[in-house]
Structure 1
C-alpha cells in the first residue's frame, strides 16, 4: 500500500509508468586520400556505434543497443551515410532481443543512404523473439546511381535449447530499397499468434528460424547459380540486378550455417568478426 495515496501498489487498474529506452546513432563515411574514411559520428541514449580495427580496406561498423533488448515503448534509430565510392560493412554486436511488451510496441528504424558507386553490406545478427514480444521495425535503403547494397536479416522464434515454444508475439517488419527515389525491392513480414499457431506450408510450416537476403547490384542475378549450389534448401531468385534468397530452418543453428554460406558467396569475404563469436561457422 502506498500510504501517501492510499492506493495498492499492485493495482493493475492504475499501472505504474515504466521507464523506456531511447537511442539514436548516425555514422557517415567518405572517400578521401584513396580510402574509405570516417566523416561523422553521433550517438545518444542506448544506441552506440563501434568501429573495430579490421584487416583490409572495408571498414566494419558495429551497432549496438546498450539497453540489452527491446520491450514495449522502446525507440531505437540508426542512420548510415555511405559516400560515393566507399564500401562499408555494417552489423550488430549481438542478437537483438524482443521481450514481452504491454500494449505499445517497440520500434526500430534503420536508414541508409549510399552514394554513387558505393556499396553497403547490412548484415545484422539475428533477432530473437520472446513470448509476448511486440516489435515494429522499418529498414530503408536509398541508392544513388551505380550504388549497391546487400541486406540480410534473420529471425529466431524462441530459444529451443531452453525449451521455449513461442505462442504469442507480434512482429511487423518492413524493408524498402530505392534507387534514385524509385523502389527496386520492397518486403513486408507480419507475424502474430495466428501465424505461430498455423503449421501449414503456406506459413511457417514448423520453422523456428528464417532469413531473407537481398543483393541489389549490377549482375546480381548471376549469383543465383552459386547460391543454389550450396543450399540444400531455400528459395533463390534473380532478375534485373537483384538476387533474393529466403531460408528457413527448425532452429537458429542450421539457419546460421546456411546463411554463412550464402553471405560468403555474395560478399566474397569472411563474415564480420563479431559474428564469429556468436556461433556462426
Structure 2
C-alpha cells in the first residue's frame, strides 16, 4: 500500500529544502508505489499505466518551476521487486540567477533485482548568473537495467543569452554492485574558455548526455556492439549531431548543438530502440511530451 509521509524539517537549514522519496514495486504484474515521502514543494503530478505490461509512468512536479539561490532539492527514487518505472517532468527545469547564492540538486536512483528505471527529465535551462550544483547517482544491482538522460541548455536562447557570470557543476555517477561504471564531471564558470573552445561546447548552447545499461543477459560485448551499430544507423538516418560509444557495458550517447527539441527527439528514439532490443517493449512515449 502507498504511504504518504512528510519529511521533518532539517535542524540546521539556511536553505530552502525540498525532498521527494519514491519506492516502486511490482504487484500482480503492475508497477505501483510501495512508499512515498515528501517535504516541501515537490510532488507526483500524475501516475499513469499506458502500457499493457503494467509499466508505471510518473510525472514529477516542482511547482516553483525552477531552482533559485538557496534551494536544496533532493530526490530518492527506488525500483524493487521487478518494478519498471518511467519518470519524467512536465516541462523544462530552470536554474535561476542566484545573486551569488548557491543552489543544489541531488538525485539518487536505486534499481534493484530485475527492476528497470527510465529517468527521463525534460531539459534544464541554465540562466546567466546561476550558481548551480547538481549530482545524480545511479546504483544498480547486477540484474537491473536502466535508461537515463540529461539535457542542459546554456542561456535563454530566445534572448540570445550567454553565460557571463555564475558557476555550473554537475556530476553523474553510475555504479553496479558498488563497481564504478561512470563518473562524469562537468564544471565551468561564467565566460569560461570551455564554452567556446573546440574541446568544449564550441559555442553551442545545448549539451545532452544519454546512458543505458542493458539487462544482465544481454551484456555480452559483441552483442552490445551490435546494438550500438543499430543505434548509430538510427542516428545517421535522423541526421543529428549525436555520438554513441560503449564504456565497457555502459552505452553512452552525447549531443552537442543548439536545438534542444532535436536533442530530445534523438534521445527519445535511442530510448525506443533500447526498449525494443532489450525488453521487447514499444516506445510508449510519456503523454506529457506531446503537450
* TM-score of the two chains, using structure 2 as the length reference: 0.82
Q: Residue 51 of structure 1 aligns to a residue in which SS?
A: strand
Matched, 1:39 2:34: yes
The offset of 1:267, in angstroms, is 3.1
What RMSD over aligned residues (CA atoms) do the two structures have, in Å? Answer: 1.9
Instruction: Note the alpha carbon deviations across 1:38-69, whole angstroms, 9 max, x for none.
Output: 21112211111233323111101222212221
Q: Answer yes or no: is 1:274 the counterpart of 2:282.
A: no
Deviation track 1:230-281 (CA, whole Å, cap 9, x = no partner) reads 323222112532210001112323323323322222234132222222xxxx
Runs of 4+ in 1 over 4 A off after TM superposition: none
Out of 108, 117, 133, the residue aligned to residue 120 of structure 1 is 117
User: Structure 2 matches for 1:24-173, cutoff 5 A?
Assistant: 24-56=19-51, 57-173=54-170
Quote the Cα distance in structure 2 between the aligned partners of 1:262 and 1:34: 26
2:8 aligned partner: none
User: How many Å apart are 1:197 and its aligned residue?
Assistant: 6.9
* Correspondence for 1:250 among 242, 251, 258: 258
Contact 2:68-2:95 within 8 A present in 1 as well: yes
Q: Which of residues 202, 223, 231 in structure 1 aligns to 2:227?
A: 223
Query: Structure 2 stretches of 5 or more lacking a match?
Result: 1-13, 277-282
Give the match's secondary structure for 2:60.
strand
Closer, same or farther: CA 198–165 of 1 in aligned 2, 3 Å: closer
Size of the alignment, in residue pairs? 259
Conserved 8 A contact 1:88-1:121: yes
The answer to whether the Cα contact below 8 Å between 2:194 and 2:201 also exists between their aligned partners in 1 is: no
Which structure has the larger Rg over C-alpha atoms? 1
Cα 1:83–1:221 shift into 2, 3 Å: farther
Aligned partners of 2:230, 2:75: CA distance in 1, in Å?
32
In structure 2, the partner of 1:23 is 18
User: Once the 2 structures are TM-superposed, how far is the Cα of residue 127 of structure 1 from its aligned partner?
Assistant: 0.6
Mapped to 2, the partners of 1:198 and 1:129 lie a distance apart of: 13
Which stretch has the larger CA shift, 214-223 or 236-245? Answer: 214-223
Structure 1 residues not aligned, in runs of 5+:
1-18
* 1:260 aligned residue: 268
Once the 2 structures are TM-superposed, how far is the Cα of residue 126 of structure 1 from its aligned partner?
0.6
Correspondence for 1:238: 246
TM-score by length of 1: 0.85
